[in-house]
Amino acid sequence: MRRLPQALARADTLDASIQKTVAHESAYKQVTGRAQYLDDIPEPPDMLHLATVGAAQACALIENIELDAARCAPGVVDIITQADIPGSPDVSPVFHGDLLLAGECVDYVGQPVVAIAATTLEAARRACAQVKVRYRAQQPRLTVQEALNQKDLVLPSQTLRCGDVDTAIANADHQLRGDIYLRGQEHFYLEGQISIAVPNEDGGVRVYSSSQHPAEVQKLVAQVLAVPVHRVQAEVRRMGGAFGGKESQAAALACMAAVFAVRNQRPVKYRMPRRDDMTQTGKRHDFWNQYRVGFDTNGVIRGVEMDLAALCGHSADLSDGVVDRAMFHADNAYFYPAARISGHRCRTNTVSNTAFRGFGGPQGMVAAEAMLDDIARALGADPLDVRKRNLYRGNRNTTPYGQTLDEELLPLIEQLEQTADYRNRRQQIRAFNASSTRIKKGVALTPVKFGISFTSKHLNQAGALLHIYADGSIHVSHGGTEMGQGLHTKIAQIVARGFGVDLARVHVAATATDQVPNASPTAASAGTDLNGMAALNAVNTLKQRLLEHAAETYRADIEQIGIRDDQCWIGERAIPFNELVKGAYLARVSLSATGFYRTPGIGYDRAAARGRPFLYFATGAAASEVEVDLYTGEYRVTRVDILHDVGDSLNPAIDLGQVEGGFVQGMGWLTSEELLWNERGQILSDSPANYKIPTAGDVPEVFNVDFFNRSHLAGKADEETVFRSKAVGEPPLMLAISVWCALRDACASLANYRFSPPLGVPATPEQVYFCARAAKDFAEAQS
Which pLDDT tens digit goes with each residue over 305-344?
A: 999 999 999 999 999 999 999 999 999 999 999 999 999 9
Which one of the listed residues 369, 660, 673, 730 is annotated catalytic? Answer: 730
Report in angstroms the alpha-carbon separations of 333 from 90, 330, 618: 40, 9, 11
φ/ψ of 484, rounded to 5, equals 105, -10
The model's pLDDT over 89-103, given as tens digits with 9 standing for 90+, comes to 999 999 999 999 999
Residue 713's pLDDT band, with cuts at 50, 70 and 90, is low
Write down the pLDDT at residue 2: 53
Report the predicted TM-score, pTM, of the whole model to 2 decimal places: 0.94
> CA-CA distance, 23 to 26, in Å (whole number)?
8
Average of per-residue pLDDT across 148-157: 97
Q: What is the mean pLDDT of residues 770-775?
A: 97
Check whether 18 has a pLDDT greater than 70: no
Interval 252-292: pLDDT, tens: 999 999 999 999 999 999 999 999 999 999 999 999 999 99
Pairing of strands 112-118, 153-162: unpaired
The alpha carbon of 415 is separated from its chain's Cα centroid by a whole number of angstroms, namely 27
Phi, psi for residue 252 in degrees, rounded to 5: -60, -40
* Mean pLDDT in residue range 625-654: 97
pLDDT for 714 equals: 46
Backbone angles phi, psi at 53, to 5 degrees: -95, 120
Strands (E), 672-750: 702-707
- Mean pLDDT, the chain, rounded, equals 95
Q: Which amino acid is at 543?
A: K
Contact 686, 109 (CB under 8 A): no
Q: Once rounded to an integer, what is the mean pLDDT over residues 237-244?
A: 97
Q: What is the pLDDT of residues 42-59, one digit of tens each?
A: 999 999 999 999 999 999
Higher pLDDT, 20 or 139: 139
164-221, pLDDT tens digit by residue?
999 999 999 999 999 999 999 999 999 999 999 999 999 999 999 999 999 999 999 9
pLDDT value of position 3: 53
Sequence-ordered list of residues with C-beta below 8 angstroms from that of 689, at least 6 positions apart, any chain: none
Q: What is the pLDDT of residue 20?
A: 77
Asked if residue 12 has pLDDT above 50, the reply is: no
- According to DSSP, the residues that pair with 306 across neighbouring strands are 291, 341
| pLDDT exceeds cutoff 70 at 716 | no
* 730 assigned to active site: yes
Is the predicted pLDDT of residue 459 greater than 50, yes or no?
Answer: yes
What's the pLDDT score for residue 443? 98
The whole-number pLDDT of residue 10 equals 36
User: Cα–Cα distance between 662 and 317 in angstroms, integer?
Assistant: 24
Check whether 8 has a pLDDT greater than 60.
Answer: no
HEC profile of 400-460: CCCCECCCCCHHHHHHHHHHCCHHHHHHHHHHHHHHCCCEEEEEEEEEEEEEECCCCHHHC
Helix and strand counts by DSSP (H, E) for the chain: 20, 30
Query: Measured between alpha carbons, how far is 79 from 269 in angstroms, rounded to an integer?
Result: 15
pLDDT digits (tens, 9 = 90+) for 347-394: 999 999 999 999 999 999 999 999 999 999 999 999 999 999 999 999
Per-residue confidence (pLDDT) for residue 712, from 0 to 100: 53
pLDDT in tens, 441-456: 999 999 999 999 999 9
